[in-house]
Amino acid sequence: MNDIKIKLALEFSISESDLEDGLAEYDELSVDSLISQILDKSIAVDEIDCKIVEGPNNLEEVDELRTASNAAG
């Protein structure tokens, strides 16, 4: 049998501090890389293509959201 391809939609909420800790623990700079590392370490997939479609993908984007939220509030 050839490789099996699985397409997944995933949505989750996480506190800013937990996101920072998770990125630091896996030594990753973006959420899509973090998710790819977690999946690879969990089930050793051959190929992972992870894309963030909505929400921040890195800590700089989190900072931008915080700044925009503070300016609006």
3-state secondary structure 27-64: CCCCHHHHHHHHHHHHHCCCCCCCCCCCCCCCHHHHHH
Q: Does residue 2 form part of some domain? A: no
Is 73 a residue whose pLDDT tops 80?
Answer: no
Output the average pLDDT for the chain. Answer: 87
Show the domain range for 63. 16-72
* Number of domains the chain is built from: 1
Q: Does residue 61 form part of some domain? A: yes
Q: Does residue 10 form part of some domain? A: no
Backbone angles phi, psi at 41, to 5 degrees: -70, -30
Can you give the pLDDT at residue 47? 84
Q: Does residue 1 form part of some domain? A: no
pLDDT, tens digit, 9 for 90 and up, residues 21-54: 888 887 888 999 888 888 888 888 888 888 999 9
Q: Does residue 36 form part of some domain? A: yes
Q: Does residue 64 form part of some domain? A: yes
Structure pTM?
0.75
Q: Does residue 68 form part of some domain? A: yes
Q: Does residue 4 form part of some domain? A: no
Q: If pLDDT is split at 50, 70 and 90, which confidence band does 1 have?
A: low
